[in-house]
């Protein structure tokens, strides 16, 4: 559904991250939310209120629609987290669970 | 005789006022609720939401019985509100625990529970003191610093905001009327004949019920009732919605049906200041994390302060004015717990025109005893 803008640098070095359990290459410097949009299944979370599917909206830290689980930590604003080599990015489904 | 605006004027539109007003309307009374504006202190909008029995009435069996009666009525009351209005109060009664973090707390708790048991009379009061292993079976999420807890099956909780909304809707459905922005400025009182000035209008009725929380002190003086209530601040923290993890409420921490976890039960004398303070919020959070270590990872979404309506001895105040019969006061700091009793019983007493002997312990005469020198 989403693709990189033509003006983005095609020569930017790639970083390997794990989106939904699948290793993918994304441009260095991109956000976890962007990585999810490029390689995820469209929606990136479901709301804890109604269970409805949601996806990143503002991409600038304000709308909180891009909450996702990053390296096991729930409630991360994916649009504000820059990808790192080996990062695990998963959708956040419903209410966060309770960690022991 | 003047034209009358209602059979009963209820002064105050919070949980206490609307519970009594709904009860009155259900009995066929013409009811008008006069409510202050949004500058009112609104304890009903800020409270914790327990329907709680196990800390009420040490040394005052009448209070234990009255509380129990309301808690026993709550499930039916909640079902009735749901069928009347379609609004679910979120009431549940899975039992409840008071969790202790050291031996001293546990010993004090044990004594309190013994006392309630001894004072219960025919109501009976069953409880269990649980060790950490037993408590863990009920609530697996407790931490290693927990030394024990008291449990009773009588405790539960509800959503105070949905309860308030349901009471308002049920009141209107039964023909009751609600007048907001009507702060009472004067009451012209005669026995069985009251003219209440509020929001630029005057309303007449043969009966009034004072249910204005902290405002009852000033209103009481207008109808010959001494109502010494003062604000006692409580601060509350609420987390994000989380997966169900607490199967029953505790005195300080409960998980709502929506999934948020509420942390509360602080007590401070802070006058009419209803803000929060970092020290108290810190103390609450620290105790919460000791009790349930998983809360270390929970996101706090909000915290707030609210003012409890506290009488000198902490008990409710129920009385009909001797000087001006027809004027009743109904005030307490447990507007959620006692909502069922107020709607079902207190309202009936107002219609009958007399409070029963079982409520005599809550009359204002108790405030007139002079302190020993």
Q: How far is A94 from chain B (nearest CA, A)?
A: 8
- Is B240 in contact with A96 (Cβ distance < 8 A)? yes
The verdict on residue A71 lying in a domain is: yes
Instruction: Characterize B36-50 residue by residue with b for buried, 16 or more Cβ atoms within 10 angstroms of its Cβ, and e for exposed.
Output: beeebbbbbebbbbb
Q: Label residue B1 by pLDDT band (50, 70, 90).
A: very low
B residues 293-332 closer than 8 Å to A (CB): 294, 297, 299
Q: Where are the alpha helices (H) located in B27-89, listed in sequence order?
A: 43-46, 61-85
Q: What is the chain B residue with the closest CA to A76?
A: B299
Q: What is the pLDDT of residue A50?
A: 87
Look at residue A2 in the predicted model and tell me its pLDDT: 74
pLDDT (mean) for B249-260: 96
Residue A11 touches chain B, beta carbons under 8 Å: no
* Per-residue model confidence (pLDDT) at position B46: 92
Q: Which of A49, A98, A92, A75 is nearest to B242 (CA)?
A: A98
Are residues A69 and A57 in contact, defined by beta-carbon separation less than 8 angstroms? no
Beta strand spans in chain B (E): 8-11, 31-34, 50-51, 96-100, 128-130, 148-152, 156-157, 177-179, 184-190, 193-198, 201-205, 207-210, 229-241, 253-255, 260-263, 300-311, 317-320, 327-331
Query: What mean pLDDT is predicted for residues B319-324?
Result: 97
Please report, rounded to a whole number, the percentage of residues in chain B having pLDDT higher than 70. Answer: 98
| Chain A residues within 8 A of B242 when measuring between CB atoms | 95-98
pLDDT, residue A48, reads 87
Task: Express each pLDDT in A8-64 by its tens digit.
Answer: 777 778 999 999 999 999 999 999 999 999 998 788 999 988 889 999 999 999 999
User: B244 to chain A nearest CA, in Å?
Assistant: 8
Give residue B39's pLDDT.
Answer: 84
Residue pair A92/A69 in contact (Cβ under 8 Å)? The answer is: yes
* Res B110 pLDDT > 80: yes
Is any Cβ of chain B less than 8 angstroms from the Cβ of A96?
yes
In a domain, A99, yes or no: no
Spatial separation of the C-alpha atoms in residues B53 and A29, rounded to whole Å: 57
Structural domain harbouring A23:
14-91
CA nearest A48 in B: which residue?
B241
> A98 in a domain, yes or no?
no
In a domain, A54, yes or no: yes
Chain A residue with Cα closest to B292: A100
How far apart CA A96 and CA A5 sit, in angstroms, is 33
Provide, as residue numbers in chain B, all residues whose Cβ is less than 8 Å from the Cβ of A95: 240-243, 259
Task: Give all strands of the β-sheet with B260-263 in edge-to-edge order.
Answer: B253-255, B260-263, B229-241, B300-311
State mean pLDDT over B238-247: 94
pLDDT band at A1 (very low <50, low <70, confident <90, very high): low
Model confidence, pTM:
0.90
B144 at interface of A, judged by CB pairs closer than 8 A: no
CA distance B261 to B243: 10
Determine, for residues B240 and A99 on separate chains, whether the beta-carbon distance falls below 8 Å: no
Q: B297 vs A99: CB contact, 8 Å cut-off?
A: yes
To 10 degrees, the CA torsion angle through B72, B77, B79, B80? 150
B61-85 vs B103-119: helix crossing angle, rounded to 10: 90
Mean pLDDT estimate for chain B = 95
Partners of A96 on chain B (C-beta within 8 Å) are 240, 242-243
Residues of B in contact with A46 (CB under 8 A): none
Q: Which residue has the tokens 């169900």?
A: B244
Say if A80 falls within a structural domain. Answer: yes
ipTM of the complex: 0.74
> Residue B289's closest CA among B305, B300, B304, B275?
B300
Nearest CA in chain A to B242: A95
Confidence of residue B338 (pLDDT cuts 50, 70, 90): very high
Show residues of chain B in contact with A97, CB under 8 Å: 242-243
For the stretch B52-88, pLDDT in tens is 999 999 999 999 999 999 999 999 999 999 999 999 9
Structure token digits, residue B194: 């009251």
Q: Does residue B240 sit at the A interface (CB-CB below 8 Å)? A: yes
SS (H, E, C) B311-368: ECCCCCEEEECCCCCCEEEEECCCCCCCHHHHHHHHHHHHHHCCCCHHHHHHCHHHHH
Decide if B27 contacts B21 (C-beta within 8 A). Answer: no
Judge whether A82 lies within some domain: yes
Does residue B191 carry a pLDDT above 90? yes
B245 CB within 8 Å of a chain A CB? yes
Nearest CA in chain B to A75: B299
Write the CATH number for A31: 3.10.20.30
In a domain, residue A52? The reply is yes
User: B259 to chain A: nearest residue by CA?
Assistant: A95
Q: H or E segment at A46?
A: strand A45-46
A93: closest chain B residue by CA:
B243
Helix H or strand E encompassing A14: strand A14-19
The CA distance from B161 to B172, in Å, is 17
First and final CA of chain A: distance in angstroms? 37
Short-list B161, B168, B155, CA closest to B236 = B161
The residues with which B239 forms a beta bridge, in sequence order, are: B300
Q: Determine, for residues B245 and A98 on separate chains, whether the beta-carbon distance falls below 8 Å.
A: yes
Residue B300 has pLDDT above 50, yes or no: yes
Question: How would you classify the pairing of strands B96-100 and B156-157?
Answer: unpaired
Task: Report whether pLDDT(B28) > 70.
Answer: yes
* Chain B residues within an 8 Å CB radius of A99: 294, 297
Contact by Cβ (8 Å): B6, B203? yes
Q: Is A23 exposed, middle or buried (0-12, 13-18, 19+ CB in 10 A)?
A: exposed
- Listed in sequence order, the residues at least 6 apart from B93 whose beta carbon sits closer than 8 Å to its beta carbon are B51, B71, B74, B75, B153, B154, B155, B156
Q: Quote the pLDDT of residue A3.
A: 75
Report the alpha-carbon distance of residue B331 to residue A78 in Å, rounded: 49
Among the listed residues B129, B125, B134, the one whose alpha carbon sits nearest the alpha carbon of residue B155: B125
Number of independent structural domains in chain A: 1
- Asked whether B361 and B262 are in contact (CB, 8 A), the reply is no
Nearest-CA distance B277 → chain A (Å):
26
Angle, alpha carbons B62-B227-B121 (nearest 5°): 5
More confidently predicted of B328 and B299: B328
Find the mean pLDDT for residues B120-131.
Answer: 94
Confirm or reject contact between A94 and chain B (CB < 8 A).
Answer: yes
A84 within a domain of the structure (yes/no): yes
Confidence label for A95 from pLDDT (cuts 50, 70 and 90):
confident
Cβ within 8 Å of residue B248, ≥6 positions away:
B94, B95, B96, B97, B138, B139, B155
Q: B348-369, pLDDT tens digit by residue?
A: 999 999 999 999 999 998 988 7
User: Lowest mean pLDDT: which of A33-37, A48-52, B161-165, B227-231?
Assistant: A48-52
């Amino acid at each position: 559904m989403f693709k990189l803008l033509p003006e983005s640098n095609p020569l930017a070095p790639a970083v390997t991250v794990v989106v939904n359990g699948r290793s993918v290459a994304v441009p260095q410097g991109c956000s976890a939310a962007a990585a999810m949009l490029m390689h995820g299944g469209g929606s990136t979370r479901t709301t804890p209120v109604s269970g409805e599917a949601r996806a990143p909206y503002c991409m600038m830290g304000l709308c909180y629609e891009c909450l996702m689980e990053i390296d096991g930590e729930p409630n991360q604003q994916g649009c504000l987290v820059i990808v790192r080599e080996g990062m695990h990015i998963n959708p956040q489904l419903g209410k966060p669970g309770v960690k022991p | 005789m003047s034209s009358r605006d209602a059979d009963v004027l209820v002064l105050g539109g919070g949980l206490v006022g609307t519970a009594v007003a709904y009860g009155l309307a259900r009995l066929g009374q013409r009811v008008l609720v006069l409510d202050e504006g949004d500058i009112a202190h609104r304890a009903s909008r800020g409270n914790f939401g327990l329907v709680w029995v196990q800390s009420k009435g040490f040394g005052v069996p009448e209070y234990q019985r009255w509380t129990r009666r309301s808690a026993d009525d709550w499930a039916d009351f909640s079902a009735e509100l749901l069928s009347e209005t379609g609004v679910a109060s979120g009431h549940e009664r899975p039992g409840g625990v008071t969790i202790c973090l050291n031996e001293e707390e546990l010993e004090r708790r044990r004594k309190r529970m013994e006392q309630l048991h001894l004072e219960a009379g025919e109501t009976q009061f069953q409880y269990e003191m649980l060790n950490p292993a037993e408590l863990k079976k009920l609530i697996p999420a407790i931490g290693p610093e927990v030394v024990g807890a008291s449990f009773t099956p009588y405790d539960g909780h509800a959503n105070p905001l949905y309860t308030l909304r349901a009471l308002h809707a049920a009141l209107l459905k039964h023909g009751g009327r609600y007048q907001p922005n009507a702060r009472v400025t004067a009451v012209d009182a005669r026995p069985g004949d009251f003219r209440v000035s509020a929001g630029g209008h005057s309303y007449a009725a043969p009966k009034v019920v004072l249910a204005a929380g902290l405002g009852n002190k000033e209103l009481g003086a207008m109808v010959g009732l001494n109502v010494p209530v003062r604000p006692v601040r409580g601060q509350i923290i609420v987390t994000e919605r989380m997966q169900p993890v607490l199967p029953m409420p505790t005195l300080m921490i409960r998980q709502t049906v929506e999934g948020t976890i509420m942390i509360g039960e602080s007590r401070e004398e802070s006058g009419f200041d209803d803000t929060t303070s970092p020290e108290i919020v810190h103390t609450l959070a620290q105790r919460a994390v000791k009790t349930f270590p998983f809360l270390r990872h929970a996101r706090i979404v909000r915290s707030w302060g609210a003012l409890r309506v506290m009488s000198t001895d902490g008990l409710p105040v129920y009385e009909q004015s001797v000087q001006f019969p027809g004027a009743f006061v109904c005030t307490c700091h447990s507007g959620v717990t006692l909502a069922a009793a107020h709607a079902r019983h207190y309202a009936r007493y107002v219609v009958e025109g007399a409070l029963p002997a079982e409520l005599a312990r809550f009359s204002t005469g108790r405030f007139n005893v002079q302190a020993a020198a």
